[in-house]
């Protein structure tokens, strides 16, 4: 039995339940969507705080290293305010195509106000596109907010053409006690504090605290890689970055069942 045939029963969530926020797992998706809707006007500023101003340049470099080239068709899932979409548009150029997808209407509105690129309101687990439609699928720091890893990667596999590439950028929970303590202080204490000072918005601060809790409870990288492989991808790898981030990449080489 190959990885694609070895389906797990039931959804594969990206992190353990955080019922202190949404009360029941069934309410998680709408709660998260509401968090991002409220924080959308401040999200670009929050990102600059988190990335120390290097976020867009890092995303562009990661996309190019993963194989994005001029003329390609790219889908960016959980696009938010377009932090992956905008550098992708620069890479593919006028002969290519980029499409951003996100469930949060507030984030899509903010993205459109920054740069009018093609956007679709939908979830990564149910992509409203034809099979084998894209050359590249990206997802930047939104993996922790989907409901089912298997559903997500199954859809990514479906909409990619043969030879298409998948790139996922995400936080990872540090394994060493020192790095975990440092990350917890930075993401759970310092970033929410700075966010509150910079935005004076309790919703933006709440989003930052929620995001740290998803990092703290995130599934191991092996679970993500196994889900990618079950979807049918080949050459699935994880590249650690500074002990707190990870780049997951893979290639769609198999045919659709």
pLDDT 10s digits, 65-92: 999 999 999 999 999 999 999 999 999 9
CATH class, range 19-173+219-251: alpha beta
Instruction: Classify each residue of 111-131 as buried b or exposed e, where b means 16 or more C-beta atoms within 10 Å of its C-beta.
Output: beeeeebebeeebbbebeeee
d(CA 239, CA 28): 29
Domain ranges of the chain: 19-173+219-251
Residue 4 near residue 231, CB atoms below 8 Å: yes
Residue with tokens 């996922």: 168
Pick the range with the lowest mean pLDDT from 10-19, 27-36, 41-50, 121-130: 41-50
Could you tell me the pTM of the whole model?
0.93
User: Where does the pLDDT of residue 8 fall: very low under 50, low under 70, confident under 90, or very high at 90 and above?
Assistant: low
Residues 224-257 pLDDT 10s: 999 999 999 999 999 998 888 999 999 998 676 6
User: Where does the pLDDT of residue 27 fall: very low under 50, low under 70, confident under 90, or very high at 90 and above?
Assistant: very high
Q: Look at residue 2 in the predicted model and tell me its pLDDT.
A: 42
């Amino acid at each position: 039995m190959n990885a694609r045939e070895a389906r797990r029963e039931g959804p594969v969530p990206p992190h353990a339940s955080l019922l202190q926020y949404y009360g029941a797992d069934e309410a998680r998706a709408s709660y998260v969507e509401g968090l991002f809707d409220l924080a959308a006007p401040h999200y670009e500023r929050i990102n600059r705080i988190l990335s120390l101003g290097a976020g867009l340049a890092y995303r562009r470099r990661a996309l190019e290293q993963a194989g994005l080239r001029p003329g390609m068709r790219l889908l960016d899932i959980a696009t938010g305010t377009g932090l992956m979409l905008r550098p992708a548009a620069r890479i593919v150029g006028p002969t290519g195509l980029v499409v951003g997808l996100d469930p949060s209407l507030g984030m899509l509105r903010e993205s459109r106000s920054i740069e009018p690129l093609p956007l679709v309101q939908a979830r990564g687990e149910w992509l409203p596109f034809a099979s084998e439609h894209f050359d590249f699928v990206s997802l930047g720091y939104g993996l922790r907010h989907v409901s089912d890893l298997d559903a997500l990667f199954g859809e990514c596999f479906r909409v990619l053409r043969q030879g298409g590439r998948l790139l996922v950028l995400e936080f990872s929970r540090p394994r060493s006690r020192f790095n975990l303590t440092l990350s917890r202080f930075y993401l759970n204490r310092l970033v929410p504090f700075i966010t509150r000072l910079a935005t004076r918005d309790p919703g933006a601060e709440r989003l930052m605290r929620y995001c740290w809790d998803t990092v703290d409870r995130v599934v191991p990288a092996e679970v993500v890689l196994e889900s990618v492989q079950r979807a049918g991808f080949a050459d699935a790898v994880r590249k650690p970055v500074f002990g707190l981030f990870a780049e997951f990449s893979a290639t769609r080489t198999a045919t659709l069942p």
